Amino acid sequence: MTLASSNLSGAAPVKVLVVDDSVLMQKLMTQIINGAPGFEVIGIAGSAEEGWDAIQELRPDVLTLDLELPGRHGLKLLARVLKQDPLPVLIVSAFGGPGADNTIQALELGAIDFIEKPDGSTNTLEGFMKHLVAALQRAAASRKMLAAARQMAQMAQLAQPRMTARAEFAQGGKASLIAIGASTGGVPAVQTVMRDLAPLRIPISVVQHMPPGYTARFSERLATATGLDVREAADGMKLKPGMAVVAPGGPRHLEIEDRRGELTCVLKEGPLVSGHSPSVDVMFHSVARSFGPHAVGILLTGMGRDGADGLLAMRKAGAETLIQSGETCVVNGMPKAAFEIGATERVVPLNQIGAAVGQLLGERPSLRTA
């Protein structure tokens, strides 16, 4: 382990510990982080063992972690850290490929976010610098809410009678569609909500901010965790009861249309919307147009405001809308933005969203179709 001195002055900076076995990446990340206003690298570790010792000694505010450490112990270090300390952990990983499974597993365990290492082609050094600083800002913003969010997640795992009884009312009728949007901290949140909704067998569409190379693996892991037929969305794909689609990462937006009574995925290239592609706003707006009151919109944890305007459009079209409560969000940006513009009045803790949707379906015949 090596110590790093700050190049910042003034207000106390956010203290960052870098855990990476590549000397080149250690130097690069130190230069970028120390050059970002409000951040400083306080230490560097090249192995999981060194990383654990450094955390105990230096007490960083944020940890950056390469999963491919000697002995492949990155995930073990992450699990150990998150079990004992609600420290925001930012995964810095290789692009896609075999590393994607480890990265998504890390997010499921509770890592705050991830960025891809520069590869000299699609992910340039300039892009890496930009994404690293933005991810650090998201991690810093999450610190105040992280402990409460993880406590609620643990409660959700313990309270899994899963609402099977609540699903009984839905026999003979289903809501047309449940649309879910999420960003930072959304991987475990989406999994929790979909697992609770699974007994309803209602088609689900998901936009989770995630780059190419990860959404297919994310879909596979959701299928295993929820028992639903979860797929990465393809243009023209039909949504059926008991099925869910995840918007593929990349330059195309996901829209859901009603084509002669069939729920159909439409992928369209276009500019960033609300700073993202795919965008939650784009999906929500399409659901508002195509399904009106016969849909439910759910906006989960995330930085920024993507999804807020689209959720408002869904509400104006007669749909039921819900947001995750701030105390259970990793970052209460998107839900807060939606609440502030009147997109919903229902603010629900993460582990109660599935039950809340079940109750709405029971109370609102207009949400159900024969």
**How far is Cα 225 from Cα 100, in angstroms, rounded to an integer?**
17
What are the start and end residues of each CATH 3.40.50.2300 domain in the chain? 2-149
Residue 16 and residue 26 in contact, taking contact as beta carbons nearer than 8 Å: no
Q: What is the pTM of this model?
A: 0.88
What are the start and end residues of each CATH 3.40.50.180 domain in the chain? 159-369
**How far is Cα 153 from Cα 231, in angstroms, rounded to an integer?**
25
Environment class of 345 (CB within 10 Å of its CB; exposed 0-12, middle 13-18, buried 19+): exposed
Query: Mean of the per-residue pLDDT values for the chain?
Result: 88
Say yes or no to pLDDT of 354 above 70.
Answer: yes
Q: Catalytic site residues?
A: 183, 209, 306
Dump pLDDT digits (tens) for 221-272: 999 999 999 999 999 999 999 999 999 999 999 999 999 999 999 999 999 9
- Pull the structure tokens for residue 223: 């299928």
Dump pLDDT digits (tens) for 277-336: 999 999 999 999 999 999 999 999 999 999 999 999 999 999 999 999 999 999 999 999
For residue 114, the cross-strand partners are 91
CATH topology of domain 159-369: Rossmann fold (3.40.50)
Alpha helices per DSSP H over the chain: 23-34, 48-58, 74-84, 99-109, 125-158, 186-197, 215-226, 280-291, 308-316, 334-340, 353-363
Q: Are strands 14-19 and 39-45 parallel, antiparallel or unpaired?
A: parallel
**CATH class of the region 2-149:** alpha beta
Mean pLDDT of 129-141: 92
Q: What are phi and psi of 318, to 5 degrees?
A: 105, 0
Environment class of 320 (CB within 10 Å of its CB; exposed 0-12, middle 13-18, buried 19+): buried
- Pull the structure tokens for residue 203: 């088609």
Please spell the DSSP secondary structure of 204-254, one letter per residue.
EEEEE---TTTHHHHHHHHHHHH-SEEEE--TTPEE-TTEEEEPPSSSEEE
pLDDT of residue 151: 58
